[in-house]
């Protein structure tokens, strides 16, 4: 009996040590550590410890880092399992967070970044949708390999989204032939966007990623004034011309009091396939300087990589095809998801009524 009590005591001490280490663990995804209520259970046996967590944001890939860190600290193999369950804090219908991905200008890889961030959030355990807000030049159908898809309807009032890689997507590109031009004035384009958002059966989503068109016109005003978005991401390249337009995008969101979640520097550098050195083709430190100037984080610096281009043009899932380059998007997605969770803790809930005015 004495030996059994000693075993129980040692087991409890080990669990308490694990819990203490989890609380103290901090990085960009866990800026305040791992809260005790996120720990479902700590199971021990002779050779391993299993820690089961339920996180209020999408960060499943953190289990690898947590397992490695805890195993080194306690001297026993620790396996960490993570389940994602966002709080039921809905911003619009059954959508918990709406995130606008903008650039200020075209050609910087904004749509590709939006699509890959959506894939990364989904891979981290979140329910994700993508709305293509670029009425004049929709890219989302091509990026998801769904050019020939057409939405269906069950009641002739609402559209079912197209589902690719477990992501619900909607775009004017599904309703207008790819070789036709959408020649509409601003109000017509804004009305079409409202219909795509309001008349799509999104169901319950953790995140709706909105691929914004370039510029600061009618569609941008529609999305920022009539849609309860959680924040915006600015995509830029290090090039001075791109930074000038990104600056305008930041100024627009500041004017409508929409939080800037951070900057993503796309085509940041090229890694030479022969020597492995970095070549800053479009400039150096541009995104970093812009982020510092506005007091927002530079979330990631995505290299100019042929794998991204090939996957995008072929409508493939980059995360399953090229794991190395996918890490940039996964890391960024985890940080964004964490930021949005902590943002809801400090922001009061506001009911927003969307009208056709």
With cut-offs at 50, 70 and 90, classify the pLDDT of residue 182. Answer: low
The model's pTM is 0.89
Least confident among 69-73, 114-118, 306-310: 306-310
DSSP string, 316-336: --HHHH-HHHHHHHHHHHHHH
Alpha-carbon span 239 to 352, nearest angstrom: 38
pLDDT digits (tens, 9 = 90+) for 231-280: 999 998 888 788 888 888 888 888 888 899 999 998 887 877 777 777 87
Give the model confidence (pLDDT) of 8-27 as tens digits: 455 678 888 889 999 999 99
pLDDT of residue 2: 42
Q: Count CB neighbours of 261 within 10 A.
A: 23
Yes or no: say if 57 and 63 are a contact pair by the CB < 8 Å rule: no
Q: 46 exposed, middle or buried (CB, 10 Å; 0-12, 13-18, 19+)?
A: exposed
- What band does 5 get if pLDDT is binned at 50, 70 and 90? very low
**What is the arithmetic mean of pLDDT over 54-60?**
96
H helical segments located in 199-322: 218-226, 240-255, 286-294, 306-313, 318-321
């Amino acid at each position: 009996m004495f030996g059994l009590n000693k075993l129980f005591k040692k087991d409890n001490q080990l669990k308490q040590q694990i819990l203490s280490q989890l609380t103290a663990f901090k990085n960009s995804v866990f800026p305040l550590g791992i809260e005790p209520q996120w720990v479902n259970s700590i199971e021990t046996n002779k050779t391993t410890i299993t820690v089961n967590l339920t996180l209020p944001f999408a960060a499943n890939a953190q289990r690898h880092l947590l397992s490695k860190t805890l195993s080194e600290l306690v001297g026993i193999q620790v396996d960490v399992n993570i389940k994602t369950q966002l709080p039921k804090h809905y911003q619009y219908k059954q959508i918990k967070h709406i995130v606008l991905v903008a650039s200020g200008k075209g050609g910087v890889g904004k749509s590709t970044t939006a699509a890959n961030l959506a894939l990364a959030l989904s891979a981290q355990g979140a329910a994700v949708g993508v709305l293509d807000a670029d009425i004049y030049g929709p890219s989302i159908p091509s990026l998801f390999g769904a050019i020939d898809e057409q939405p269906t309807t069950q009641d002739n009032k609402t559209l079912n989204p197209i589902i690719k890689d477990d992501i619900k997507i909607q775009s004017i590109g599904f309703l207008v032939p790819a070789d036709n031009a959408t020649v509409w004035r601003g109000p017509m384009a804004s009305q079409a966007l409202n219909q795509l958002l309001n008349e799509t059966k999104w169901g319950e989503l953790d995140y709706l990623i909105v691929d914004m068109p370039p510029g600061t016109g009618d569609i941008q005003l529609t999305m920022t004034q009539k849609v309860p978005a959680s924040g915006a991401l600015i995509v830029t390249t290090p090039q001075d011309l791109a930074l000038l337009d990104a600056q305008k995008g930041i100024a627009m969101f500041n004017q409508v009091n929409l939080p800037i979640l951070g900057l993503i520097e796309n085509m940041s550098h090229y890694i030479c396939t022969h020597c492995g050195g970095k070549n800053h083709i479009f400039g150096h430190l541009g995104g970093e300087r812009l982020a510092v100037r506005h007091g927002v984080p530079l979330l990631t610096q995505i290299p100019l990589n042929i794998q991204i281009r090939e996957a995008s043009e072929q409508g493939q899932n980059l995360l399953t095809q090229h794991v190395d380059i996918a890490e940039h998007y996964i890391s960024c997605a985890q940080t964004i998801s964490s930021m949005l969770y902590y943002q809801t803790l400090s922001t009061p809930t506001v009911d927003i009524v969307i009208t056709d005015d």
